[in-house]
Chains A and B, each alone.
Chain A
Amino acid sequence: MIMNAQKSLAERARRFIRTPKGTLLVVFAVLLGVAGTATGWPIVLPHVLAAIVGACLTEVALVGVFGRRWAWPSSALLSGLIVAFVLGPATAHWVTLCVAMLATASKHVLKTSRGHVFNPAALALLVSIPLFATGQSWWGAGGDLAWPFLGLMIAGGALIVDRINKFPLVLGFAATYFGLFTLVSLPDPTAVAEMFRAPFVQAALFLALFMLTDPPTSPGRYLDQVWVGVLAAVTACVGQLLGAGQAYLLLGVLVGNAALAVRRMWQVAPARRASPA
């Protein structure tokens, strides 16, 4: 009996790992293992736990409040990890907890029939800047680590991007982002020199690989992927050049999310009007 239960649990775990969310969780676990060891577990562990607990408990509570079917809060877990990776590990634990709670709550509040509108972690992190005066270090992206970690992150990111078929989105973003900064550097190299260096490169790639590609908030069609990626990159670059400070990448992904939501509503509205009553 116990053996059967163990086998069933192992089989379910194996099946979960094969899903995109499961693969992403494994990739995040590897990144956390390396970045956490480099940063120092006494600082990192309570920070990560606060984010995970905040995100998952809010998910469980809201599922109960809205009377939805219980499901393992894997999305909340991933949102919590992203919040933890981006917020500085020295952030007060109650702040990390609140930001993670905001992330999950936003998913349930700002939604359409197709799912949530904004990347939950990105929205909560942006709101947390004026709300809690948070600092964002993107330590989970390995901005402080040696270049091999960047290779590890890109490899893990490519694995998940391939699974969810979002290469045009990521490549469109990266080409536009680095292309625009290269163009700006022609007349004034000092204005954007740091955008090509750590920790900004790592942060931009982490955002492109793991946040911009969030399936519910990113397009499926290749053409849509390209323009959303380009729009997000242009917004991020303009935000950076206009002095948006640490928010510039988050603004990019959220503007891309909003544009996609408008586009989806615009597509659905005529279809509804055309359908017989």
Chain B
Amino acid sequence: MAKKMPRRLVALSSSAVAAIYLAGFVYTRGADAGLASVATSVPTAVSASPSATASNGQPSVVVSASAPATSTPTSTSTTTTSAYRDGTYTGAGTSRRGNVDVSVTIQSGRIANVTISSVTTQYPVSRIASLPSQVVSRQSSQVDNISGATYSAQAFSLAVQAALSKAGA
């Protein structure tokens, strides 16, 4: 076993690593904010692959949101919900950092429930826990970006789009 690294050298090297990290952090600060604003408008270039079934081995329900019985649409979304057929539809969205699977329940032509059935992005699922309720309240796949979970939010939105496209077919 090698002799222990002198503590002074450890402190000096750790400071150098911290400086490198801070340089990257500060330099990308604006880019992080830019990412958030760009992602607010949901990209259509990223592929959304509809999946026929729920993912295997995953918790069947991770996060879900249901519409209250008396809810009314609050958004003037370009997506009209009246064309949707009742039923439960699954959708998968992909992003650079992994996939999100959702199931969307349509009742009386409206989005009644959205459930995140699996998340394979590296972000904790809690980061996008607020998104299903946004879809239900807005009756649209367009959701706010989550700072720090940009790609999960993108994948979620694409998954909802994929499910809604099935419901509207």
Contacts and interface: CB of A to CB of B under 8 A. Distances in A.
Interface stretch (A66-74, A136-144, A258-266, A268-276): A136-144
B7 to A, nearest CB: 9
A218 B29 CA distance: 34
B42 interface: no
Interface of B: 1-2, 4-5, 10, 13-14, 16-17, 20-21, 23-25, 27-32, 34-35, 38, 55-59, 62, 96-98, 118-127, 148, 150-151
23 contacts: A90-B125, A91-B58, A132-B56, A132-B57, A133-B58, A134-B120, A135-B58, A135-B121, A162-B10, A182-B20, A182-B24, A185-B28, A190-B31, A190-B35, A194-B148, A196-B25, A197-B25, A220-B2, A222-B2, A222-B5, A245-B97, A245-B121, A246-B120
A133 B148 contact: no
A159 to B, nearest CB: 12
A148 B29 CA distance: 21
Contact of A90 (B30, B38, B59): B59
A84 to B, nearest CB: 14
Interface in A100-126: none
Interface residues of A, number: 49
Given A88-B124, A193-B31, A135 B118 contact: yes
A193 B151 CA distance: 12
Interface of A: 88, 90-92, 95, 129, 131-139, 143-144, 162, 165, 167-168, 171, 174-175, 178-179, 181-182, 185-186, 189-190, 192-201, 203, 220-222, 243, 245-246
Contacts of B1: 165, 220
Given A133-B57, A174-B17, A88 B5 contact: no
B13 A199 contact: no
Nearest to A161: B10
Given A88-B124, A137-B122, A144-B124, A245 B148 contact: no
Contacts of A203: 122
Contact of B120 (A135, A171, A190, A197): A135
A203 to B, nearest CB: 7
Contacts of B38: 190
Identify the interface centre among A131, A133, A192, A243: most chain B CB within 10 Å of its CB.
Answer: A133
A220 B1 CA distance: 6
A167 B96 CA distance: 32
B124 A192 contact: no
Given A190-B35, A221-B2, A138 B13 contact: no
A245 B57 contact: no
Contacts of B14: 171
A194 B146 CA distance: 12
B34 A190 contact: yes
A205 B120 CA distance: 20
A179 B23 CA distance: 9
